[in-house]
Amino acid sequence: MENILLGFQQLADPIVLLTLLLGVTLGLTVGALPGLNDSITIAVLIPVTFGMEPTLAFALLVGIYCSSACGGSIPAVLLEIPGTASAVVTAYDGYPLKQKGHGLQALSVCMTSSVFGGISSALVLMFLSPVLASVALKFGPPEYFMLGMLGIATVIGMAGKDCWKHFLSMGFGLWLSCVGVSTSTGMTRFTFGSMSLMDGIPLVPRMIGLFGILSVLKIAEKAGRKPDGRNSEMAEEAEHQVHANSGDRVSFPDRAMCRRLLPTWLRASAIGNILGCLPGAGMTMAIFTAYDVEKRVHPEKQFGTGEWEGVAAPEAANNAVVASSMVPLLSLGIPGNSTAALFIGALTIHGMVAGPTLFTKNPDMAYLIIVAFLVGNIMMLPLALLYCKYLAAQVLKLNPNVLSAGILGLCMAGAYAYKNNPFHVGVAIAFGIVGYVFYKFNIPTAPFILASILGSMMESNFINSLVYTGSPMIFLQRPISCALVIVSAAFILWPWVGPPVKKLLGRNKSAA
Amino acid sequence: MTKNKLVSLLSPAAFLLFGIWIKVSTLSMSKRDATFPSLVSYVIIVISVIDLISELRKAEHKDRFKDTSLLRVLACVAAMFLYVFLLKKIGFFLDTVLLGAFIMWVLGYQRYKILAACAVGIAAVVFGVFYGLLNVPLPTLFL
């Protein structure tokens, strides 16, 4: 409790609060712009936080992460173009609602649902991560190795039919973590004789390439293909609707609506929180699951034609994933998704280490992050409603070509600023190309990112475990490690075991 | 064998070669250093063979480069590498103005006056933030 108060105390500084507010506004904006998202923005802005006070830096980054998923619903409802992948499902019912003349009310429901989901996940983060961290402090090398393994196994387990590509991506990430000086012997590995690679391939330029530069390359490959001005025309239309004197307006949903949507919010938030805590599950799975559950709960409703539950469920679920994806990161050092992984880079450049020791060595920062998620979400409700009313339509008119040049400028400066070395700009470009090749061949980048972050931790703990006992049986002899082996194996085998199990369960249900 | 199928086989084949290269590289390392990368190489080799077989057995292969302007992507990549090469020679500001203008042009922006103004504006803002506010010693031509 004392530590939570410490977090609130730090956040009470007006400059920190203002920075959080700036982050929330920025998050809404990047979420609203198709092609941009929280990962790209955070990756590009991490170098900007170099010179900032850590409290300000994390207030900014948390603010962006809090609100970008919510911002993605703005173009999803108004233009039927999801601003972020997490808003794909919102468009199913959001756009039909807009066509029925309830676009702004739909946006209001989106924002309120996002805030509900966001606050629930901030509370989960606040109460679950310190408990998990205190347990994790008792772990030895075998448990830590298996934790890393579990993180990777969950990503693979969620893969479904394309699991081989996930494995390959993971292998590439694990190899990447071996580049540089070996932690156990001090010898160099895979450096190709380059002094700049002695410290390995740094996370920040890598992430800048994989998110920032990749986003520009994705825009480039589609450039000139759609010369029509559909987006800007629809943005104009949305602007007219905002200023039209009709019954549809941006406002907090009334009591009857809140009462109607409360069960949906609770269900979707629970789904988002559970999936958010699992590394690799992510927002996409949460929004589809939440939407599917609502369809099953309300078989009488016609989802896809403009049902309020159809926008409330995915929005509550995607924001519930946000803070809960930080639970494994803050407590165990395992990022819940790619955006959470970026916080490792941010913590590193401020001299901190993600994981259970963050709560003992830097409790002020750990609790600032946690409290910032809560306050950021509370702040988001009035801000998001005002944003929809006054800024959303203007933001949708921004030209993606000009934005791409801006992103690229920030990427280049950010990568250079990492160690004032053009080599790191080259690293960012190289990883932009790697990301593009992966994208074209349908190879997911999430396992690669996770494995490259966890790889060195896994290697040192794997070697230490073997050194102590000389036998790999150590992983099965210790109870926690053994439990982690079983859970990891279950996740890895799930793509093969899952479908027959589901079929069997379905058959039993229909027989009953 | 169709072109699309050949393209689909490229990624598992590349990973297979990559896995073999990792294994060969570990042969010159001490046992302790080689343990983990060797394990990784085995995983990559085995999985890439499985992936290769599953791609070979697939009846249909989608065209991965349909509606893709690879030329624009290559132009962007080339411009970025040229940017790195010129960074220390002409300084960050001018280099970023040129890169920004080129990227906007490649992406199809046609209004040249606005393009030039945006390129200068973007470079000025980024330079101001990093050089002025954050004291990052960006390479400069005159300052």
Crossing angle for the helix pair A479-511 and A141-157, nearest 10 degrees? 30
Asked, for residue B141, whether it belongs to a domain, the answer is no
Q: Return d(Cα B86, Cα B81) in angstroms, integer.
A: 9
Choose among B82, B95, B130: nearest CA to A426: B82
Tokens of B69: 């302007």
The helix or strand, by DSSP H or E, that contains position B71, with its residue range, turns out to be helix B70-90
Same-domain status, B50 and B78: no
In angstroms, how far is the first alpha carbon of chain A from the final one? 49
SS3 A390: helix
Q: Return d(Cα B117, Cα B138) in angstroms, integer.
A: 22
pLDDT tens string B67-100: 778 899 999 999 999 999 999 889 999 999 999 9
pLDDT at A292: 85
Q: Return d(Cα A206, Cα A215) in angstroms, integer.
A: 14
Chain B residues with CB-CB distance to A224 below 8 A = 69, 72, 107-108
ipTM above 0.90 for this complex: yes
CA neighbours closer than 13 Å in the CB half-sphere of residue A115: 20
Polymer length in residues for chain B: 143
**Dihedrals phi, psi of A35, to nearest 5 degrees:** 105, -25
pLDDT band at B50 (very low <50, low <70, confident <90, very high): very high
Chain B residues with CB-CB distance to A442 below 8 A = 64
Q: Return d(Cα A316, Cα B91) in angstroms, integer.
A: 47
Chain B residues with CB-CB distance to A225 below 8 A = 67, 69
Split into its structural domains, chain B has a count of: 2
Q: Return d(Cα A294, Cα A108) in angstroms, integer.
A: 19
Query: Would an 8 Å CB–CB cutoff place A22 in contact with chain B?
Result: no
Chain A residues with CB-CB distance to B43 below 8 A = 167, 170-171, 174
Contact by Cβ (8 Å): A305, A93: yes
Choose among A331, A358, A327, A326: nearest CA to A342: A326
Mean pLDDT of the B2-13 span: 86
pLDDT at A227: 45
Same-domain status, B129 and B75: yes
Q: Return d(Cα A472, Cα A164) in angstroms, integer.
A: 25
Do B30 and A185 count as a contact with CB atoms less than 8 A apart?
Answer: yes
Asked, for residue B22, whether it belongs to a domain, the answer is yes
In angstroms, how far is the first alpha carbon of chain B from the final one? 59
Q: For residue A221, which amino acid is it?
A: E
Contacts of A130 (CB under 8 A, 6+ apart): A3, A331, A359, A366
Contacts of B13 (CB under 8 A, 6+ apart): B48, B52
Contacts of A15 (CB under 8 A, 6+ apart): A56
Using alpha carbons only, what angle is made at residue A421 by residues A415 and A427, rounded to the nearest 5 degrees?
Answer: 50
Pairing of strands A180-181, A188-189: antiparallel
Q: Using alpha carbons, list the distances in angstroms from residue A329 to A56, A399, A500, B112, B122.
A: 20, 35, 33, 46, 34
Contact by Cβ (8 Å): A201, A345: no
C-alpha torsion angle, residues A266, A267, A270, A271 (rounded to 10)? -150
Boundaries of domain holding B36: 3-57
How close B60 gets to chain A, by Cα (Å)?
15
Tokens of B72: 């624009």
Query: Would an 8 Å CB–CB cutoff place B123 in contact with chain A?
Result: yes
Tokens of A377: 């979400």
Contact by Cβ (8 Å): B49, B84: no
Helices and strands (H and E) in chain B: how many: 5, 0
Same-domain status, B47 and B98: no
Nearest CB neighbour to B33, from listed A48, A174, A184 = A184
Q: Return d(Cα A360, Cα A134) in angstroms, integer.
A: 9
DSSP designation for B67: T
Split into its structural domains, chain A has a count of: 1
Contact by Cβ (8 Å): A84, A31: yes
Q: Return d(Cα A33, Cα A393) in angstroms, integer.
A: 11
pLDDT at A160: 65
The helix or strand, by DSSP H or E, that contains position A188, with its residue range, turns out to be strand A188-189
Q: What residues of chain A, 380 to 439, have a C-beta less than 8 Å from chain B?
A: 399-402, 404-406, 408-410, 412-414, 416-417, 420, 422, 425-426, 429, 432-433, 436
Q: Return d(Cα A223, Cα B67) in angstroms, integer.
A: 10
Query: Would an 8 Å CB–CB cutoff place B134 in contact with chain A?
Result: yes
Chain A residues with CB-CB distance to B83 below 8 A = 412, 425
Query: Would an 8 Å CB–CB cutoff place B118 in contact with chain A?
Result: yes
- A454-486 in b/e form (b: 16+ CB < 10 A) is bbbbbbbbbbbbbeeeeeeebbeebebbbebbe
Nearest CB neighbour to B51, from listed A50, A165, A414 = A165
Tokens of A292: 């599917």
Tokens of A109: 């429901």
Q: For residue A484, which amino acid is it?
A: L
pLDDT at A228: 43
Choose among A443, A447, A414, A420: nearest CA to A43: A414
Query: Would an 8 Å CB–CB cutoff place B97 in contact with chain A?
Result: no
Asked, for residue B40, whether it belongs to a domain, the answer is yes
C-alpha torsion angle, residues B51, B52, B57, B61 (rounded to 10)? 90
pLDDT in tens, chain A (512 residues): 777 888 888 888 899 999 999 999 988 888 887 667 788 888 888 888 877 889 999 999 999 998 888 888 888 888 777 777 778 888 888 888 888 888 888 888 999 999 999 999 999 998 888 888 887 777 888 888 888 888 888 777 766 667 888 889 999 999 999 998 887 788 889 888 888 888 888 888 888 888 889 888 988 888 765 544 445 555 556 556 555 545 666 677 888 889 999 999 999 999 999 888 877 667 877 888 889 888 888 888 888 888 999 999 999 999 999 888 888 888 888 887 778 888 888 888 888 888 888 888 888 888 999 999 999 999 988 888 888 777 776 776 677 778 888 888 888 988 888 888 889 999 999 999 999 999 999 888 888 888 888 888 888 888 888 877 777 888 888 888 898 899 888 888 877 777 777 777 777 666 66
The secondary structure of chain A in percent helix, strand, coil, rounded to multiples of 5, reads 80, 0, 20
Q: Using alpha carbons, list the distances in angstroms from residue A358 to A148, A150, A444.
A: 17, 21, 30
Boundaries of domain holding A286: 2-395+402-511
Burial-class residue A391 by CB neighbours within 10 Å (0-12, 13-18, 19+). Answer: middle
